[in-house]
Amino acid sequence: MKTIRTAFAHTLRAHVLVLTSFAVLCRVAIADEAPIAAAALPAIGSIDVRFQSFNIEMVGVTGGEFWKPYSAPDGVAKRQDKAPAATIERTDLFGDQLPIDLTSPTLHKLASALSPAYMRVSGTWANTTFFAESHSLQPPAGYKGVLTARRWNELIEFSKAIDAPIVTSFAIGPPTRDPKGIWKPDQAQQMLSATREAGGSIAAAEFMNEPDLPAIGGAPAGYGAAAFARDFSAFQAFMKQTAPDVMILGPGTSGRSPAAADLFSAAAPGIKAVSYHFYGALSERCAGRHTADDALSEQWLSRTDRTLAFYSEFRDRLAPGKPIWLTETAETACGGNRWSSTFLDAFRYLDQLGRLAKAGVQVVMHNTLVGSDYGLLDEITFRPRPNYWAALLWRRFMGAVVLDSGVPIQRGLHVYAHCQRRAPGGVVLLVINNDPEGSHELILANASARFTLEAATLQDAVVRLNGTELTGEAVDRLTGASGTATDPGRVKFAPATISFLAISDAKNPDCKAGT
């Protein structure tokens, strides 16, 4: 009898599990079949109007050695089919980068199209760059580069012209210190004074670039959390007295290490916003092993979530309520991989923006506007790369109010929703099909104007928008482009495509402002 009762119990539990599983499947099926009604999508947060921003490395302003691009003779990015990381020599890491022509009408036009934005001028080289009021091009002993007042003034004028206020950091190497090794603000003072004299302003500043990598960044030998805490306290006091209108960011670290945690603790009392850097991996130049085959995987795309969680936890504990800024990010560190200048990386770029906006991050600064393979623009010709077009479409459509699309992230459907920029009541859906083999569908309750990015191959440097190849001349045309009319009902998204669906007449009550 006991055996019979036991068998019956097992059978009953099995039936319950089957019925429960069936009920779950039914709920998922019903959810998948439910149309997306743009008017009913609720607001879940908001982002800075300059959310999508960019970096110009300090070495791009001064000129000097930077990550050498993987350039084919015709200037088109090569695929990663040669030179395994272990065989790359130091001569393949760096190349001469000429100072960026900040007066170029082409650069002004392309950068202005991404505004309003912040322009961060910093990077590893900024830690050891000497600010010179004269025109000398030879750095004093202990510095690796020279930023002249004339060149800084050009940058200020560029910043004004493109509506991108400056975010920066200061020199922190051995020559900036007194005999006891304590940081002195002399260089920072000269830079701030020159900025005011030129009629410019600095919106925000980090003390130094990536204090968790002090040896790479040119800090004194043995530099650690205690020295950083002492210096950051001096920096905070100096900025409070000299430039109280400048927002102090920190710690500006690049990883999730115990060192980054210690540096966060040291900076937390003096910051107005949390800043951090994120790269999903090292590039081939620095012996990274991330491959193009992984670039559309859920594991790769979700890495940005894990790093944000690390900094969010410390923010909530040590600097509650402070906004979070991601002040440096790209496909991989050390200049990016070969495909970072191709369509393949546009999936990572837009997915990262969508995830971080939904999570409440206020500003995301892509590295770089111009420079190496991860630049939005080719450093010689200023030719827009696929990520530039991705950025431009985000800027045109995605407003500051973030909505809940109601669609969970799944292979082939990453769906983000925002109020439509400059369209009161309007809604935009960003739909990323990161499945290179299968089409996926959504059901929409509204008609929309569709803008779809695609390419002949994933590692193509040329992209098409609704079937038309994008070139530099397309920047002006995009402003008034009307998109492809899409009826309500089932909407199919082809493999490896990115689509913006603009629903201008959604009448969403949370989107009245149209910002």
User: Is 6 exposed, middle or buried, given 0-12, 13-18 or 19+ CB atoms closer than 10 A?
Assistant: exposed
CB-based contacts of 185, cutoff 8 Å, min separation 6: 170, 234, 235, 238, 242
Length of the chain: 515
- Closest by CA position to 55, among listed 374, 306, 431, 366: 366
CB-based contacts of 102, cutoff 8 Å, min separation 6: 61, 154, 155, 157, 158
Give the pLDDT mean for 435-449: 97
Question: CA-to-CA distance for 116 and 233, rounded, in angstroms?
Answer: 32
β-strand 324-330 against 273-279: which pairing, if any? parallel
Q: Which of 12-21, 229-238, 276-285 has the lowest mean pLDDT?
A: 12-21
Question: CA-to-CA distance for 310 and 59, rounded, in angstroms?
Answer: 30
Angle at 184 between CA 235 and CA 244, to 5 degrees: 35
pLDDT at 233 over 50: yes
Instruction: Output the pTM of the full model.
Output: 0.90
CB-based contacts of 455, cutoff 8 Å, min separation 6: 342, 343, 386, 462, 463, 464
Q: Domain extents for the chain? A: 2-47+403-511, 52-67+98-402
The encoded tokens of residue 361 equal: 């991050």
- Architecture of the domain whose range is 2-47+403-511: Sandwich (2.60)
DSSP label at 445? S
If one compares 360 and 2, the residue with the highest pLDDT of the two is 360
pLDDT at 86 over 60: no
**Topology of 52-67+98-402 in CATH?**
TIM Barrel (3.20.20)
Beta bridge partners, 427, equal 419, 503
pLDDT digits (tens, 9 = 90+) for 162-206: 999 999 999 999 999 999 999 999 999 999 999 999 999 999 999
Q: Which of 10-19, 290-299, 381-390 has the lowest mean pLDDT?
A: 10-19
Question: CA-to-CA distance for 389 and 384, rounded, in angstroms?
Answer: 7
- Grade residue 74 by pLDDT with cuts at 50, 70 and 90: very low
Question: CA-to-CA distance for 183 and 228, rounded, in angstroms?
Answer: 9
pLDDT digits (tens, 9 = 90+) for 21-54: 333 333 232 335 689 999 999 999 999 999 999 9
Contact 81, 285 (CB under 8 A): no
Task: Quote the pLDDT of residue 473.
Answer: 84
If one compares 306 and 97, the residue with the highest pLDDT of the two is 306
Of all helices (H) and strands (E), which one includes residue 55?
strand 52-57
- Grade residue 405 by pLDDT with cuts at 50, 70 and 90: very high
Task: Quote the pLDDT of residue 75.
Answer: 34
Question: CA-to-CA distance for 479 and 473, rounded, in angstroms?
Answer: 12
Cis amide linkage into residue 488, ω under 30° from 0: no
